[in-house]
């Protein structure tokens, strides 16, 4: 599934939350945010804190993956996946926490 808008992410969060039998308040407690924040994210709030969005996705069991470097951007056949892997590895080593 391709995510193109904040609304796409919100729809995934809402669907998973419902499938898990959670109400917005329960998910909010799990993530450490307000019920209003969960409501806004589920409705595609732009500009939400990325860390909180990722924590919310993890709380409902959604894992993000990427295919960066597997297809060219416009007319540039540049494979950047090795560089991204090196950056992620360095950040994980520095922080000693998973990204």
Q: For 2-43, what is each residue's pLDDT tens digit?
A: 788 999 999 999 999 999 999 999 999 999 999 999 999 999
What is the crossing angle of helices 50-59 and 35-42, to 10°? 90
Q: Has residue 35 been placed in a domain? A: yes
Q: Measured between alpha carbons, how far is residue 16 from residues 3, 61, 63, 90 in Å?
A: 15, 8, 12, 32
Assessment of whether the complete model's pTM goes beyond 0.75: no
Q: How far apart, in whole angstroms, are the C-alpha atoms of residue 89 and residue 39?
A: 34
Instruction: Clarify whether residues 51 and 72 are in a common domain.
Output: no
- Phi, psi (rounded to 5 degrees) for 62: -100, 125
Q: Is 76 helix (H, G, I), strand (E, B) or coil?
A: strand
Instruction: Please give the residue range of the domain that contains residue 78.
Output: 67-99
Domain count, the chain: 2
CATH number of the domain where residue 55 is located = 1.10.260.40
């Amino acid at each position: 599934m391709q995510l193109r808008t904040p609304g796409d992410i919100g729809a995934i969060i809402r669907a998973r939350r419902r499938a898990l039998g959670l109400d917005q308040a329960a998910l909010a407690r799990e993530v450490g945010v307000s019920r209003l924040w969960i409501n806004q994210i589920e409705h595609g709030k732009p500009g939400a804190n990325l860390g909180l969005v990722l924590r919310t996705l993890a709380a409902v069991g959604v894992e993000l993956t990427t295919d960066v470097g597997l297809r060219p951007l416009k007319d540039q056949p540049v494979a950047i996946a090795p560089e991204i892997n090196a950056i992620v590895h360095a950040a994980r080593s520095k922080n000693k926490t998973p990204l």
